[in-house]
Amino acid sequence: MSTTEATKVPGFCGLCIARCGSIASVEDGRFMRLDPDPTHPTGQALCAKGRAAPELVYSKQRLTRPLRRTRPKGEADPGWVEISWDEALDTTAAAMRQLAAAHGAHSVAFSQSSPSTTAIGDSAPFVRRLMNAFGTPNLVWALDLCGWGRGFATRYAFGVASVATGSGGGAMADIANSGCLILWGYNPSYTRLTHATATVEALKHGMKLIVIDPRHVGLAGKADLWLRPRPGTDGALALGLAHVMISRGWYDQAFVRAWTNAPHLVRSDTGRLLRAVDLAEGGGAGHFVAWDGLAGQPVAYDPAIGRYGTPVERLALEGEVMVATKQGMLPCRPVFAHYAQLCARHTPERVAAICWIAPDQVEAAARLLWHSRPVSYYAWSGHEHHANTTETARAMALLYALTGSFDQRGGNVLFPAVPNPVVTGEDLPAARHMAPAVGLESRPLGPAKWNNVSASDFYRAVLEGEPYPVRGLIGFGSNLLLAFSDPLRGRRALAALDFYVHADLFLNPTAELADIVLPVASCFEREALRFGFEISAEAQSLVQLRKPVVPPPGLARSDTDIIFDLAVRLGLGEHFWNGDVEAAYRHQLAPSGLSLEALRAEPRGIRVPLTTRHAKHAEPDPAGHARGFATPSRRVEFWSETMQAKGHAPMPEFVPPPNPDAERYPLVLTCAKPTLFCQTQHRALPSLRRRAMNPQVMLHPETAARRGIASGDWVSVETQAGAMRARALLNAAIDPRVVVGEHGWWQAAPEAGAPGYDPFSALGSNYNLAVDPAARDPISGTTAHRSGCCEVFRTSSMEQGKAADTRVAAQRA
């Protein structure tokens, strides 16, 4: 029994994207427990990870002092010695300056964990600001896997993210007002509790739900329809659903005519969009052409004002027309006719063959979508971790455009945000003269366009000097060697760097290759300012200054403090409020009218009233023209000239995941996140680990039986690229041709008597050792973590695992 009454500290759990409103209890200076705060818009519940927060805070494996390596990389013992913050940051600043002077600032890359799986969102804008102030565009992180599909590929259709995570801007599912929600390769019951809670609430009020997932998990049991796709075929499913909707007339013709480029004519000779200048001298070179079905003549569309010379209702969406051009009569068809044709190649029967989903289920899903509007959708890792993710995400976005629900109440809505200035520093002097990011040369429309670098492009820059050498890495979290494919190459790259500093809570296998390691305060040990909680208009209105629950262990500091301090040591203090974090917060708060003092006095946060407006594309811009969408045509683009100009298909063609050796690897390998851990973290927390001692791989009982595998057996999962081990978990609800693994296992939990795993050996349990690093999305570079092919062996004797290990080592040598 405690003698003192617990102090309650309201805040929010920062361990994952859900950012659940919480109340921490502190007794005698010790953080005892974390509970939900039901007054908070995201405070309905906490997951097991959130409830284990005190274990994270007090974990014996936490980093508490800055460390410096004293022995060469590659030796088993790095010979870490404790150093002061002054030495750590002065050494870092000196190394950065030296590399910049010798090779340019772009030779220093930064890395960062995903804000969806850590609290780095507290500091992410300042990480980018430091990069921009210093002059490097190279941020190595998981964007190609985490956000590209939903938030970036969809920009090529909508001009904004059509399924946004939130803080990056973009449309979010207005779940509370939806008629029908699609959870597409997304299992919020495990991965974003707040969305699961909101969905369950909306179901009570009659919302329909479609779950598209190879596993029957989470809300699949509550869904009106559960579609079980063959992993990696979601693009074909989206086209197939669109086909049913178009052929039944189940699409919003008014929206498609008025707000998409579906009416624009495509030339039959060049396969390009027809321009007004093609019709007559003096026609606009930038003006597209549609067909006025009533007048039977072409009509120009000026993207600058977003208008046709005729009422949109008259625009043709189908058929072929003969257009008088400067070269004579030319057959042309509207974009929509081309799209309908692409979709028509994906009949329900064809979808059944590709996606392993019964034709009547495709029909039923299309019917439900049309008859239960407004529709909202949320799609995540299930559709993102494939080498065809860009086209899949575009196909889904175009399907969504057919519903006409975009930015409508109950659809995917561009919610307002409490006004706050951009602090990422794209306007800083050094940012204006930066080299292009690594990867832009090979994939100009991919993550590098937004200065994000995939791990494999980073490894190439380090090891091969392509497109230019990268020699330094400044890491804020992130566990490259576990999170991405090709860990052996990654290890070589990290070891080859001239300088690597890594800031983290734990010494992960990636950080083990650093020259200097910096101890970071957890989100329960540091202050952070947050604008909006994303899941609804109401949640967006809350601004909160999260208080530390307890002080950090040892000398650990927040990422934000480290960044500001480093900036000053780099001579960049003028861009960092002279190192004063509070001054930065005041700057961020100024447009909202809130003061730091008021927020300190209200630890539960303050609401700034916001008004949600819908269909903002129809609102006038300052010049009085309808705003439209932020695409080159000002319209949702069914046909993307941007894609076409770079040699890609203008519409989202489906490319099936390849299986070059189906004989040897007959099963499809995908994966999913566990509920108890985030990514490669949290395995050391005893209460969580006791509930999941070993990595698991889900197999259908028939698949297991045919291979002599019983529930709980250790098995080796082998692919052409490599292998990993895990224990068999039998599940009759998955397709017998599908295997579902987990990634992220390396850490031991001594208090739970649970082992660690070697990330670089097939005897360990590194899923990503078995991912083919060469199969990548041509637009984004995303690797196929979820559509590889494999075989599974029982390995009780370990012989199989050893054989696989030898084979992998030989392949990589």
Ligand X SMILES: Nc1nc2c(c(=O)[nH]1)N[C@H]1C(S)=C(S)[C@@H](COP(=O)(O)OP(=O)(O)OC[C@H]3O[C@@H](n4cnc5c(=O)[nH]c(N)nc54)[C@H](O)[C@@H]3O)O[C@H]1N2
The residues of the shown chain that bind ligand SF4, judged by CB under 6 A, are 13, 15-16, 18-20, 46-47, 49-50, 193
Shortest distance in whole angstroms from residue 698 CB to ligand X: 9
**Closest among 213, 296, 251, 233 to 638, alpha carbons compared:** 251
Q: Of all helices (H) and strands (E), which one includes residue 809?
A: helix 799-812
Nearer to ligand X (CB atom), residue 768 or residue 780: 768
Q: Of all helices (H) and strands (E), which one includes residue 583?
A: helix 581-589
Residue ranges in 58-117 that form contacts with Mo ion under rule CB under 5 A: 114, 116
What is the contact surface with ligand X in residues (CB under 6 A)? 16-17, 113-114, 116-120, 142, 145-146, 184-187, 190-192, 212-215, 217, 229, 231-232, 234, 380-383, 476-479, 482-483, 503-506, 508, 520, 523, 559, 670-673, 675, 677-681, 743, 767-768, 785-786
Strand partners, 23: 10, 35
Binding to Mo ion by CB under 5 A, coded x per residue (else -) over 113-142, reads: -x-x--------------------------
**How many CA atoms within 13 Å lie on the side-chain side of 514?**
34
First to last CA, the chain: 59
Shortest distance in whole angstroms from residue 489 CB to ligand X: 16
Residue with smallest beta-carbon separation from ligand SF4: 50
Shortest distance in whole angstroms from residue 194 CB to ligand SF4: 7
Shortest distance in whole angstroms from residue 380 CB to ligand SF4: 14
Nearer to ligand X (CB atom), residue 340 or residue 462: 462
Q: Are 356 and 230 in contact (CB under 8 A)?
A: yes
Residue ranges in 137-196 that form contacts with Mo ion under rule CB under 5 A: 146
127 — phi, psi (to 5°)? Answer: -60, -50
Nearer to ligand SF4 (CB atom), residue 50 or residue 446: 50
Nearer to ligand SF4 (CB atom), residue 20 or residue 315: 20
Q: By three-state DSSP, how is residue 631 classified?
A: coil
Task: Indicate which of Mo ion, ligand X, ligand SF4, none lies near residue 474 (CB less than 5 to 8 Å, by partner kind).
Answer: none
**Closest among 754, 714, 577 to 61, alpha carbons compared:** 754
Task: Indicate which of ligand SF4, Mo ion, ligand X, none lies near residue 207 (CB less than 5 to 8 Å, by partner kind).
Answer: none
Nearer to Mo ion (CB atom), residue 279 or residue 481: 481
Shortest distance in whole angstroms from residue 287 CB to ligand SF4: 49
Shortest distance in whole angstroms from residue 18 CB to ligand SF4: 4
Nearer to ligand X (CB atom), residue 191 or residue 536: 191
Q: Are 78 and 711 in contact (CB under 8 A)?
A: no
Nearer to Mo ion (CB atom), residue 478 or residue 696: 478
308 — phi, psi (to 5°)? Answer: -100, 165
Q: Are 784 and 714 in contact (CB under 8 A)?
A: no
Nearer to ligand SF4 (CB atom), residue 12 or residue 158: 12
Residue with smallest beta-carbon separation from ligand X: 382
Task: Indicate which of ligand X, Mo ion, ligand SF4, none lies near residue 749 (CB less than 5 to 8 Å, by partner kind).
Answer: none
Cis peptide preceding 736, ω within 30 of 0 = no
Cis peptide preceding 467, ω within 30 of 0 = yes
| DSSP symbols for 155-209 | HHHHSS-SS--STT---EE-GGG-SEEEEES--HHHH-HHHHHHHHHHHHTT-EE
Shortest distance in whole angstroms from residue 51 CB to ligand SF4: 7
Q: Does 389 bind Mo ion (CB under 5 A)?
A: no
3-state SS track over 351-405: HHHHHCCCHHHHHHHHHHHHHCCCEEEEECHHHHCCCCHHHHHHHHHHHHHHHCC
Shortest distance in whole angstroms from residue 474 CB to ligand X: 11
Shortest distance in whole angstroms from residue 673 CB to ligand X: 4
Nearer to Mo ion (CB atom), residue 112 or residue 199: 112
Instruction: State how far the Cα of 292 lies from the Cα of 312, in Å rounded to an integer.
Output: 8
Q: Are 542 and 106 in contact (CB under 8 A)?
A: no
Nearer to ligand SF4 (CB atom), residue 147 or residue 759: 147
Task: Indicate which of Mo ion, ligand SF4, ligand X, none lies near residue 111 (CB less than 5 to 8 Å, by partner kind).
Answer: none
Q: Please, which residues have CB within 8 angstroms of residue 636's CB and are 6 or more apart in sequence?
A: 157, 158, 159, 259, 260, 261, 398, 401, 406, 629
Nearer to ligand SF4 (CB atom), residue 193 or residue 440: 193
Task: Indicate which of Mo ion, ligand SF4, ligand X, none lies near residue 19 (CB less than 5 to 8 Å, by partner kind).
Answer: ligand SF4
Q: Which residues bind Mo ion (CB under 5 A)?
A: 114, 116, 146
